[in-house]
Structure 1
Amino acid sequence: MKTFKEYNFFNDKIAQALEDIGFESPTPIQEKVISYLLKKQKKDLIALSQTGTGKTAAFGLPIIQKINLNLRFPQALILCPTRELCIQITRDLCRFSKYISLIKIIPLYGGINIENQIQSLRKKTHIIIGTPGRILDLIKRKKLSLYDIKYLILDEADEMLNMGFKEELDSIIEKLPKKRQSLLFSATMSKCMNEIAHTYLIEPVEEITTGKRNVGADDVKHIYYIVDKTNQKYSTLKKILDINPDIYGIIFCKTRKETKKIADYLIRDGYNADAIYGDLSQSQRDSVMNRFRKKYLQLLVATDVASRGIDVNDITHVINYNIPNESEIYVHRSGRTGRAGNRGISICIIHSKETSFLKGFENKIGKSFKRILVPSVKEICEKKLMHFVEKIKKTSVDDKSIMNKFLPKIQKKLEFLNKEELIKRFYWIEFNRFFTAYSSNSNDLNFQNLFYSKKIFGGNNKKKFFSKFFLNIGAKDNLTKLGLINLINQAANNSHINIGNIEILSKFSFFEVEKRYQKKILVGMNKINNNHSYGRPISIEIKN
């Protein structure tokens, strides 16, 4: 892969800034767009690339290089949907141009004093990054001149339309000179984006695409959990968080109200979380985002609109607490993880009636979703305990700390305890609250009868589709519904098997699966006969 130096794209000042940042080689979208723009091409451009591939640098670096520092009025206008994205783009462009002392880059967005922005515009300005509402406000006040704009960049224009900014965009673009180059950047090419391209770009339009159109990132794994009732989503969310103790992620909700509610619940239950949504002031928003970027926050609960502009490369998980109605939005959400060479996981928590949405997502991203069972209390306890053990193993103690002054007294106080008793008490103190919370609410949250309803398999028709099995272990063997589902999935080699009724009695159990899996279950159960924890050999037979 060629480096920026080998391409020799930029002047010495930009090259030095890239070296300071640690940018060595351009991403595919950067290489194609920068080459195109620096060749002085005049055609308008659509650039499609997955989220997290460096689109800001793709348009920002060549624009900085092409700016005429002697002109007084702005030459480039970058429009974006949210304050957060506006701030992020400004921050990036300032880093790219840190050694160009004369360049002036100004962000213009709502939520802060407009008078300060007007004062900034009275000075020489080269690049403006702004949200449509504030830009139009300044134009109407005759405080912002767009007569010298040579470059218009629409970043995530589809989201601007979704947020209701069409009239503002129309009015702003009417004020721009006809001789300009317009650049449209997006992660996906939806119907909305096609409409934007035909409305705001001047023909002919060149298109640059890296990777496949409208697909998800290669380094993202897509999984889902099915819950029986909508009100079980929050309990399922907590179990997902508990089974992933090192999670650093974003939880997406549809509405501001639910975003705040879920964040409040998580904080109440002891999770390191906070929320970002439209009603926050700019100072509150900045505070939350700064804590999240610095990893003082482990979990960020957000709406789609508020999340625009979150540019963090090492997010491990994206959790769709509410799945979006459109596949393009899912692509944007899942693209927040698996960035910059890291691997990530995108999770959907869905009700059984929402499974049809997953097919649309699969078609859009070109990948399959895998169903994961909601973890059991036993699995979570084991995971958290082992995670805590690893933390202890990796902890380095400062022998000169004040703690050591008290160590002899502590040792004397605890000398009556042997090693085993000390460890037991230590863990009990650390995890008693957690154990108590789960033991009082340990119901199986997994939806079992996904395809088994009276509408589809009602009455006598049920026998045509399902086989009933007898299993010689039951409640006295510590078998639970979740444990039996795990056995069935293990026997079926984790196929997408549809499970019917489950009945666990004292010494034996009954369960149903689709008839087409009948042989697979019989063979699979025999294979795992010696690899389970239920105390006696499994015996299974079909009941007619």
Structure 2
Amino acid sequence: MSSEHEATSASFSSLGLPDHLIQVITQLGYITPTPIQEEMIPHMLNGRNVVGQAQTGTGKTAAFALPILAQLKTTGGQHPQVLVLAPTRELAIQVAESFADYSKHLKQINILPIFGGQDYNIQLRQLQKGCQIIVGTPGRVMDHIRRGSLKMDHIHSLVLDEADEMLRMGFLDDVEWILEKLPNRKQTALFSATMPANIRKIAHKYLKDPVEITIKSEAMTANTVAQRGLVTSGGFAAKVDALAKVLESETFDGVLIFVRTKLQTVELAEKISALGYSTTALNGDIQQTQRLRTIEQLKSGNIDILIATDVAARGLDVERISHVINFDIPFDTEAYVHRIGRTGRAGRTGHAILFVNPRERSMLRSIERATKQKIEMMQLPTVADINTKRIQAFKNKISTTLEENTSFYEKLIGDYITETDADITQVAAALALLAQGKKPLLLAEEKRAKYQPEKDRNIAPNRAKQTRKVRTHNVQLPPDEGLERFRIEAGNQHGIKAGNIVGAIANEADINSKYIGRISIFDDYSTVDLPFGMPDKTLNLLKKARIGSRQMQIQRLEDRTADLGTDLAQSKYKKKTAKPGAPKAKRSVSRAQNTAV
């Protein structure tokens, strides 16, 4: 059975949900069910297996969480009854928090997220304590099953969330392994944005007579949102500088800034806060209570700038957001549409600004084709532009203050002029300086160095010459636009597969697998293409991350090549000075397995 659905006119009360869940969703502000919720909830309440094809942000979490909670047994022990598999730890945390929100009127319900990167002992203690709902990433769930710490005997419901993402990250074999370990599984729900052949194969193999629902996506942008693009050359620091200038030149109320990883939310929030803006980060590590408090502060004006990941900003609805800034370009047009949909709401005019690296122009064109709207390119505000705005803002402060009761200060200044015979203009200038403090009102004109591509910077002429002499016997395609190549110290001889690399990067550094490009696996190392301008903090985190039993020790390939150039020059010097009869070094050639991810 399959059907397509476009619009919804039902209410939650008509779907057959119990009163305690209707009460919760009413308190959460849900008014009408989304199409995926309207279609899926009745079938799941009837115990049917379901396959849902719907894009991110369509409300699919509630589509499976609400009917599962409606049928959950709250008596008879704290055995796991429900298992939800998610591709990333951020999504696992978010789904677990949603279950917790929906079940707050149920007593003795425990929900446990289990994922890589967290101490095993924490999860072991919670499993021993008991819980009814497990939300986890495939790798960590498998670990607990093997340890015997996760018992599968009482699990009757399984949800595969974002199945196509699990396929992309190389988890599909793990998912099948877990499915084979569920002897008493009675209901399975599979959700996926796309339906590749491998996903359909799993659905046909493990889901008996499923109901298939396809929700048509609407990739449309609001006419009330003015879209602009800004070309930003250079790495993270250069983009932060550009962001600072944009914030100075724009007149905004609330601003939502999107980045790719939760590590970047914190790092960027620190830098923007240092400029004097009331800023905070919103990511998957933030507890639901703190998230709600943060959103309330944004609504009330106590916070003006929120820096978030795509997942953390789902469902965010704050009318005063006047600007959405894409600090990192999304590699998915649907994500872009969802991002800029956070502004221009309730009939208000909104502004969307997209930072684009020269290597990312192809994605810009894809966004324009998908939205059927031209993104107007803007120029980076100059120092003169910013100074003009600062002067006007200072004058506006004077005008606003003059509207208040200044009688006390008028008498004070009048007495001062009478006593000192000072010029009134000079007195006003002195007071302005006093009000401004030590921070200059105007920015100093900066002398910009001529731009050099990132790969040519900080390379001395002799070092660049040495680098060009380094040769490789492994022919690889160059990175796609917006990506640069990195080397990982693990390869074929260590049993590494592309899915291992994708899973490690996505889970340990919280980088969406959509932003991971071509992977090439050689005998003793591998290369992977990641977004251009990755922050050093993210790279340092990945260096310590493990693939199997090995640390990744990731580094930019061009840095590695430059180091090899230096090593080559040194080895030639040693060869010239070596003693006669010294053995010659053997040359080895690695074979490559190239995999496009």
Where on the TM-score scale, by shorter chain, does this alignment land: which range? 0.5 to 0.7
Alpha-carbon deviations, 1:446-503, whole Å to 9, x = none?
A: xxxxxxxxxxxxxxxxxxxxxxxxxxxxxxxxxxxxxxxxxxxxxxxxxxxxxxxxxx
Whole-Å Cα distance in 1 between the matches of residues 398 and 63 of structure 2? 44
Q: Which moved more, 1:110-119 or 1:55-64?
A: 110-119
1:96 aligns with 2:79: no
Deviation at 1:142, TM superposition (A): 0.8
Aligned partners of 1:50 and 1:217 also within 8 Å: no
Amino acid at match of 2:17: F
1:69 aligns with 2:74: yes
Aligned to 1:78, what secondary structure does the other structure show? strand
Aligned partners of 1:219 and 1:344 also within 8 Å: no
Alignment gaps of 5+ in structure 1: 446-544
Q: Which moved more, 1:23-32 or 1:368-377?
A: 368-377
Deviation at 1:21, TM superposition (A): 2.9
Structure 1's 225 and 167: CA in aligned 2 closer, same or farther, altered over 3 A? same
Amino acid at match of 1:94: A
Alpha-carbon deviations, 1:305-326, whole Å to 9, x = none?
A: xx55765333654433343445
Q: 1:250 maps to what in 2? A: 257
Whole-Å Cα distance in 2 between the matches of residues 59 and 393 of structure 1? 56
Deviation at 1:252, TM superposition (A): 1.6
Q: 1:59 maps to what in 2? A: 64
Aligned partners of 1:110 and 1:131 also within 8 Å: yes
Alpha-carbon deviations, 1:389-439, whole Å to 9, x = none?
A: 9999999x9x9xxxx9xx9976654445889986995599459947422x4
Amino acid at match of 2:137: T
Q: Which moved more, 1:115-124 or 1:331-340?
A: 331-340
Alpha-carbon deviations, 1:56-78, whole Å to 9, x = none?
A: 22221111112233454323222
Whole-Å Cα distance in 1 between the matches of residues 446 and 167 of structure 2? 44
Matches within 5 A, 1:289-304: 292-293=294-295, 294-295=297-298, 298-299=304-305, 301=307
Whole-Å Cα distance in 2 between the matches of residues 392 and 183 of structure 1? 62
Alpha-carbon deviations, 1:33-63, whole Å to 9, x = none?
A: 223323x262331141452x43322221111
Structure 1's 30 and 309: CA in aligned 2 closer, same or farther, altered over 3 A? same
Deviation at 1:238, TM superposition (A): 1.8
Whole-Å Cα distance in 1 between the matches of residues 308 and 132 of structure 2? 33
Aligned partners of 1:80 and 1:155 also within 8 Å: yes
Q: 1:313 maps to what in 2? A: 317
Alpha-carbon deviations, 1:18-39, whole Å to 9, x = none?
A: 333333322333222223323x
Whole-Å Cα distance in 2 between the matches of residues 344 and 254 of structure 1? 25
Structure 1's 230 and 122: CA in aligned 2 closer, same or farther, altered over 3 A? closer
Residue from 353, 370, 377 that aligns with 2:376: 370
Whole-Å Cα distance in 2 between the matches of residues 139 and 341 of structure 1? 52
1:172 aligns with 2:160: no
Residue from 234, 242, 255 that aligns with 1:230: 234
Q: 1:452 maps to what in 2? A: none
Aligned to 1:184, what secondary structure does the other structure show? strand
Aligned partners of 1:318 and 1:346 also within 8 Å: yes
1:134 aligns with 2:140: yes
Q: 1:106 maps to what in 2? A: 112
Whole-Å Cα distance in 1 between the matches of residues 195 and 333 of structure 2? 9
Q: 1:10 maps to what in 2? A: 17
Whole-Å Cα distance in 2 between the matches of residues 434 and 288 of structure 1? 36
Aligned to 1:129, what secondary structure does the other structure show? strand
Whole-Å Cα distance in 2 between the matches of residues 93 and 387 of structure 1? 47
Deviation at 1:10, TM superposition (A): 1.7
Whole-Å Cα distance in 2 between the matches of residues 207 and 220 of structure 1? 35
Q: 2:275 maps to what in 1? A: 269
TM-score normalised according to structure 1 size: 0.61
Structure 1's 247 and 262: CA in aligned 2 closer, same or farther, altered over 3 A? same
Whole-Å Cα distance in 1 between the matches of residues 356 and 56 of structure 2? 25
Alpha-carbon deviations, 1:174-193, whole Å to 9, x = none?
A: 3234854333345x4375xx
Structure 1's 111 and 339: CA in aligned 2 closer, same or farther, altered over 3 A? farther
Q: Identity rate of aligned residues, in percent? A: 31
Aligned partners of 2:390 and 2:442 also within 8 Å: no
Structure 1's 371 and 195: CA in aligned 2 closer, same or farther, altered over 3 A? farther
Aligned to 1:250, what secondary structure does the other structure show? strand
Whole-Å Cα distance in 2 between the matches of residues 393 and 177 of structure 1? 75
Whole-Å Cα distance in 1 between the matches of residues 400 and 23 of structure 2? 38
Matches within 5 A, 1:68-467: 68-72=73-77, 73-123=79-129, 125-161=131-167, 165-166=171-172, 168-177=174-183, 179-185=185-191, 188-189=193-194, 195-199=198-202, 202=206, 206-212=211-217, 215=219, 218=222, 221=225, 223-227=227-231, 229-230=233-234, 233-242=239-248, 243-253=250-260, 262-263=268-269, 265-273=271-279, 292-293=294-295, 294-295=297-298, 298-299=304-305, 301=307, 307=311, 312-314=316-318, 317-327=323-333, 330=336, 345-365=351-371, 367-375=373-381, 380=386, 413-415=412-414, 426=432, 429-430=435-436, 433=439, 435-437=441-443, 439-441=444-446
Structure 1's 2 and 361: CA in aligned 2 closer, same or farther, altered over 3 A? closer
Structure 1's 132 and 317: CA in aligned 2 closer, same or farther, altered over 3 A? farther
Aligned to 2:356, what secondary structure does the other structure show? strand
Structure 1's 238 and 358: CA in aligned 2 closer, same or farther, altered over 3 A? same
Amino acid at match of 2:227: I
Amino acid at match of 2:80: P
Count of aligned pairs between the two proteins: 424
Aligned partners of 1:81 and 1:308 also within 8 Å: no
| Aligned-CA RMSD value | 4.9
